[in-house]
Amino acid sequence: MSFLVAGTLQVAAQLADAQDSLGRKGKYSIQGLRVALILSSPGASAATVAALDGVFQALGFENCKKREVSVQNFHEELILFREQLDAHGSPMGCALVALVAPSRQLRQPQLLIQELSHCKTLRGCPKVFLLLSSGSGDAQEPGDFLTGLGEICGRCPHWSLLQLLTEFFCRIAEESSGDTFCPVLRSSLRGALCLGSVEPQRPEPDPGPSAQYDLCGARAALFLAVTRDRPGTQHDVAALGDLCQALGFKVTLRIDPTAQAFQEELAQFQERLDTHRVPVSCALVALMAHGGPRGQLLGADGQEVQPEVLVQELSCCRVLKGHPKIFLLQACRGGKRDPGVGPTALPWYWRWLRAPPTIPTQADVLQVYVNTQGCVAYRDEKGSDFIQTLVDVVRAKPGGDILDLLTEVNRRVCELDVLGPDCDDPRKACLEIRSSLRRRLCLQA
């Protein structure tokens, strides 16, 4: 799933795959029909609908259905669309749905996401959702946003969807003046999703995006790890610490912080960076703790702290303005166990945080959560699958684009069958990657 917020403009995509949907390791195979649907509420801008057509064509969706209905009827239209696809009979390659409505009226988009996830014909196929809204005070109108996105998609069809969005974020930043609402994508992709095509006789294209973060300055990392009643955490701390040191990060470790100490340690970390004698080019924060169903972390004292508060703390760091800030969160997000879906036991995921239509600017932030909203994050005495796999993947290709590497980490974690403590049946896990990065991030030259 991907999710983008630009002002009150929201772009969301949920993508799920079965193992046989990967044409080759690490890349989705987009074969079959590409279906698209536009649902717009009465009074929606004609320019927005026209711009959507441009994006659809740039992404290879030549035909799409359009319906003008009230927001209250969006769910019924999605049900009808799903039933038509299931009755179609032909193989599907990808589905793209655009929902256009006034600001703040799409309060529970996850229900619409879930509806299309039940489509049997689309099982194993990417499903992309674009949620577009506009109103007074919006940072950018949907039509303008979509026109720019369509131009980039048409110019670089060989780039993956995540690469296209990162490049587009860079353009937004360059064209904006003053405070802006920063785009954020959310992804649980397990392979590169390239909706365009490249002629076979042409050389392999540049992987893009064109801009890359300069990491010539100092690098700092902060680990906050709760080890009480969390066997294996010490192995995660050791493995991640060795990796960070190999990549040039100076690591600060705090064991068993209370909820208040989580915030205090972040504040002190930020103050140390602002007074650092040499420029700082990158910061990494690893948070390892028990967690709750609303995404909160639990300190060693059992009290709660919200990860968003910690992210905002580091976003205020003056020396890190314009530089990447990485957050790794290894924690449960509830008590549910995911058994997966279908005969291959590969799961479908939808995760939406209840957030206001607009959020403060938090540019250049990369957050990685282990597991879905409301689900358990698995770990044993050897450590967690997330941290151990992350270390293996980054060590193998430290110069790779971090979003590509994290997508590979997710693929490996999703393909694991975990034997949970609740029963003998295999369970599944999946990452959620949130990025407002505006350039390529490669941790090693």
pLDDT in the model for residue 380: 55
Q: Domain check: are 309 and 416 in the same one? A: yes
Domains identified in the chain, total number: 2
pLDDT in the model for residue 191: 83
Q: Is residue 441 part of a domain?
A: no
Can you give the CATH number for the domain in which 115 is found?
Answer: 3.40.50.1460
Q: Domain check: are 141 and 290 in the same one? A: no
pLDDT above 80 (res 374): no
pLDDT in the model for residue 424: 54
Give me the mean pLDDT over the 185-208 stretch. 65
Q: Is residue 312 part of a domain?
A: yes
- Maximum Cα interatomic distance, the chain, rounded to a whole number of Å: 65
Name residue, tokens 């970390």.
Answer: 269
Q: Domain check: are 183 and 231 in the same one? A: no
Give me the mean pLDDT over the 189-200 stretch. 70
Which has the minimum average pLDDT: 226-230, 247-251, 428-432?
A: 428-432
User: What φ, ψ does residue 300 adopt, rounded to 5°?
Assistant: -65, -20
The model's pTM is 0.79
User: What φ, ψ does residue 2 adopt, rounded to 5°?
Assistant: -120, 155
Give the C-alpha separation, 322 to 324, whole Å: 7
Q: Domain check: are 276 and 409 in the same one? A: yes
Token pair listed for 10? 């929201």
Token pair listed for 183? 């785009």
Give yes or no: 153 in active site. no
- Find out whether 371 and 333 touch, Cβ atoms under 8 Å: yes
Q: Give the three-state DSSP class for 84.
A: helix
Q: Is residue 193 part of a domain?
A: no
pLDDT digits (tens, 9 = 90+) for 171-191: 877 776 555 557 788 888 888
Q: Domain check: are 141 and 237 in the same one? A: no
Mean pLDDT of all residues belonging to the chain: 77
Instruction: Provide the domain limits for residue 6.
Output: 2-187
Burial bucket for residue 335 (CB in 10 Å: 0-12, 13-18, 19+): exposed
Helices (H), 59-138: 74-88, 109-117
Q: Is residue 442 part of a domain?
A: no
pLDDT in the model for residue 221: 97
Q: How far is CA 105 from the centre of its chain?
A: 23
Q: Give the three-state DSSP class for 43.
A: coil
- Closest by Cα among 395, 391, 385 to 430: 385
Domain final position from 170, 187, 204:
187
Domain final position from 134, 167, 187:
187
Q: Is residue 159 part of a domain?
A: yes
Give me the mean pLDDT over the 254-263 stretch. 95
User: Which position has the higher pLDDT, 94 or 281?
Assistant: 281
* Active-site entry in 332, 375, 414, 430: 332
User: Which position has the higher pLDDT, 234 or 180?
Assistant: 234
* Active-site entry in 75, 235, 276, 290: 290
Q: Is residue 419 part of a domain?
A: yes
pLDDT band at 165 (very low <50, low <70, confident <90, very high): confident
Q: For the chain, report the end-to-end CA distance as a whole number of angstroms.
A: 29
Give the C-alpha separation, 44 to 393, whole Å: 45
pLDDT above 60 (res 386): yes
User: Which position has the higher pLDDT, 110 or 115?
Assistant: 115
pLDDT digits (tens, 9 = 90+) for 315-369: 889 999 999 999 999 987 644 444 444 333 323 222 323 333 333 346 888 888 8
pLDDT in the model for residue 6: 32
Q: Domain check: are 269 and 393 in the same one? A: yes
Q: Domain check: are 352 and 392 in the same one? A: yes
Domain final position from 164, 187, 210:
187
Q: Domain check: are 164 and 287 in the same one? A: no
pLDDT above 80 (res 410): yes
pLDDT digits (tens, 9 = 90+) for 66-85: 999 999 999 999 999 999 99
Q: Domain check: are 63 and 113 in the same one? A: yes
Q: Is residue 440 part of a domain?
A: no
Give yes or no: 158 in active site. no
Q: Domain check: are 181 and 223 in the same one? A: no
User: Which position has the higher pLDDT, 59 or 244?
Assistant: 244
Q: Give the three-state DSSP class for 255.
A: strand
User: Which position has the higher pLDDT, 209 or 241?
Assistant: 241
Q: Is residue 198 part of a domain?
A: no
pLDDT above 80 (res 38): yes
- Find out whether 39 and 97 touch, Cβ atoms under 8 Å: yes
Q: Domain check: are 175 and 223 in the same one? A: no
Q: Domain check: are 104 and 149 in the same one? A: yes
